[in-house]
Amino acid sequence: MSRSKKKPADSPDDALPKAVGHRLSLYLRELQRLLSDGQETTSSGRLGQLLGISDAQVRKDLTYFGHFGYPGVGYRCDELIDAIRRILGTDHRWKVAMIGVGNLGRALLGYRGFAQQSFDLAAAFDVDQSLVGRPIDEVMVYHLDSLDETVRRLRIKLAMIAVPATAAQEVADRLVSTGIEGVVNFAPVTIQLPEGVSLIGVDLAIEMEQLTFAALNRLREDRSATDGD
């Protein structure tokens, strides 16, 4: 996954490394699962084990935000869930726009995982007149021409871009002008946003390439290990 901004993503002077935010999301998932399994408390060791990292890393990540554990008890799952949701900003719900309801956009409209984690798809946009004015998976489709007006009126703060690569930058620029806070770009192209608007790029084929790259690297390592004998 690309996290592309004009500023390098993990510049050393960042107070909060991006990886910490990502791990907070992973802790939240595991805590929600533990709680739904009936576990009321847990520990940094258990969380670390579930995620394949050290207990020290878990404690260090949480220390950025305060003190959460109890001596002899560990973490109370419900309290830590609430705390992490506050830190991530998902203690209240966010409205999300989907731009482009072709193949992938339409699929994402039906994906239930967003609503479970505080994200409500509030509007979809497309240039195809035959799609406009009717809901898809209960999300109303508007014409792209009404983007600015609709996003402001519905107070939408986040957007997903699932338009063809050639249209992605223009759509992103129009979203920025509405005062949006963040964008997930699914179009297979790198787009540029100004500072102050977050951007995450998701290119599913790139993820697959990282698998084949890793598979080849294992082969290369095996060969060089054999060469060394």
Quote the CA–CA distance of 125 and 139 in Å, as a whole number. Answer: 10
Residue closer to its own copies, measured from CB, 145 or 170: 170
DSSP 81-148: HHHHHHHHTTTS-EEEEEE--SHHHHHHHT-THHHHTTEEEEEEEES-TTTTTSEETTEEEEEGGGHH
d(CA 101, CA 124): 7
CB 199 within 8 A of CB 190: no
- Whichever of 71 and 195 has its CB closer to its own copies, that residue is 195
Rounded to 5 degrees, φ, ψ at 4 are: -110, 130
Three-state SS letters, 169-204 = HHHHHHHHHCCCCEEEECCCCCCCCCCCCEEEECCH
Nearer to its own copies, 146 or 164 (CB): 164
Least distance to its own copies, CB of residue 154, Å = 17
CB of 115 to its own copies, least distance (A): 9
Complex with its own copies: residue 127 or 165, whichever CB lies closer:
165
DSSP reduced 3-state for 71 = coil
Query: What is the Cα–Cα distance from 61 to 48, expressed in whole angstroms?
Result: 11
Query: Looking at beta carbons only, is 95 or 143 nearer to its own copies?
Result: 95
Q: Which is nearer to its own copies, 133 or 194 (CB)?
A: 194
